[in-house]
Homo-oligomer: A and B are copies of this chain.
Amino acid sequence: MPLLVMKFGGTSVATLDRIRRAAKRVGVEVANGYDVIVIVSAMSGKTNELVGWVRETSPMFDAREYDAVVSSGEQVTAGLMALTLQEMDVPARSWQGWQVPVKTTSAHSAARIEDILTENINGKFAEGMRVAVVAGFQGVSPEGRTTTLGRGGSDTTAVAFAAAFGAERCDIYTDVDGVYTTDPRISSKARKLDKIAFEEMLELASLGAKVLQTRSVELAMRYKVKLRVLSSFDEQTDTSGTLVCDEEEIMESNVVSGVAYSRDEAKMTLISVADRPGIAAAIFGPLSEAGVNVDMIVQNISEEGRTDMTFSCPTEDVLRAENAMATAKAGGHINYHDLVADTDVAKVSVVGIGMRSHAGVAAKMFGALNSEGINIKVITTSEIKISVLIDRKYMELAVQALHDVFELHKSP
């Protein structure tokens, strides 16, 4: 029988009523002739409660115990969802990570899936089970302990199951009805995309469009899993939501598909660094070791053997970055005059696979920002993305201006 993976996030299973609503959707697909693997998150708020207890008990907690505690949330939803389906006369049972098993690394609280054994679940499908309800976000380590994949990991579970079981599609039910050209809270002209390419989604996900977890998109791209993002609160039609797919499947698209932003960025500038071969490694090695997530890097033109080095990172990493640089300076590994942190910046990006074949996107972007009097502090580009760092107060304005200039409100 053809197989679907359906994933329901925390808000979609927040109450027994919502679980029932989700189960009804699963029932429709079963009636359509599909076997279904349902991946569930914890009831919304539950994971935060459990994490809160762990942190209060032990600020520097043992991640193995954290996983033992936190994984219980998905376990509860999985059981309740299986019971709900049974009440609808759909043969279903729940599975925890260790029962499937979902084999992961031992990196507790941030484990990676290494293998999903399909034998147990396929055996039950062969016996007549129509729905396997799997607790998302969890697996089992080589040592036989429960692991979790990190926050948002249920998306990754869903895509990994779709890949392992060769599912026809992986439907991600969430509280938004798809992927938009930009955040509708910032631009009222934001338009839902019917389709988006994996590469674009990946850029959007990592740029702060919180619809899908980055790792799940990477995985879907690698294994060519068709992903659909749709709302569990809407009536569904065949064109509901947004299909994330291979770019070959997208016939028509705008040059730019979306405008993303990230508010929590900081711009760090090392002033008057003694320039020499290997200086970049001497700076960014210690930052990486300190866990600083460096994003953009710009090196100014060197004069008289000294240069300014600018990089961006999440606001929460600023303190760690300052400490790492101070330590490296004290150790004589680097030499700089000053380190200036500007935490009043935001990142705005335009993303689109169409950029590959269209020149002039950057010029158009910079022109639009200039018309609004917005000063660009740092620029980085990739094949399908241009990002700029600007003053945070201009962020909304920049997003709106770029959405307009690339005419994203119009369908391609």
Contacts and interface: CB of A to CB of B under 8 A. Distances in A.
Interface of A: 16, 19, 50, 53-54, 56-58, 61-62, 64-66, 68-69, 71-73, 75-76, 78-80, 82-84, 86-87, 93-94, 96, 98-99, 144-146
B50 A65 contact: no
Given A98-B98, A99-B144, A76 B87 contact: no
Contact of A83 (B65, B79, B83): B65
Contacts of A82: 62, 65, 68
Contact of A57 (B16, B54, B93): B16
Given A16-B56, A76-B50, A98-B98, A86 B69 contact: no
Contact of A79 (B69, B73, B80, B99): B69
B84 A58 contact: yes
Nearest to A60: B87
Contact of A65 (B65, B69, B79): B79
**Looking at chain A's contact residues, is the secondary structure mostly helix, strand, loop, or mixed?**
helix
Nearest to A43: B53
B99 A145 contact: yes
Nearest to A135: B68
A86 B72 contact: no
Contacts of A79: 54, 65-66, 68-69
A80 B87 contact: no
Contact of A75 (B68, B87, B144): B68
B65 A86 contact: yes
A388 to B, nearest CB: 44
A380 B16 CA distance: 48
Contacts of A86: 58, 62, 65
A173 to B, nearest CB: 19
B58 A68 contact: no
A80 to B, nearest CB: 5
Contacts of A50: 76
Nearest to A58: B83
Given A64-B93, A99-B144, A144-B99, A76 B69 contact: yes
Which of A68, A69, A75 has the most chain B CB within a 10 Å cutoff? A68
Given A65-B83, A93-B64, A57 B19 contact: yes
A124 to B, nearest CB: 11
A334 to B, nearest CB: 38
A361 to B, nearest CB: 51
Given A16-B57, A53-B16, A96-B68, A62 B83 contact: yes
29 contacts: A16-B53, A16-B56, A53-B80, A54-B79, A54-B80, A57-B83, A57-B84, A58-B83, A58-B87, A62-B83, A62-B86, A62-B93, A64-B93, A65-B79, A65-B83, A65-B94, A66-B79, A66-B83, A68-B79, A68-B96, A69-B76, A69-B79, A69-B80, A69-B83, A71-B75, A72-B72, A72-B73, A72-B76, A75-B75
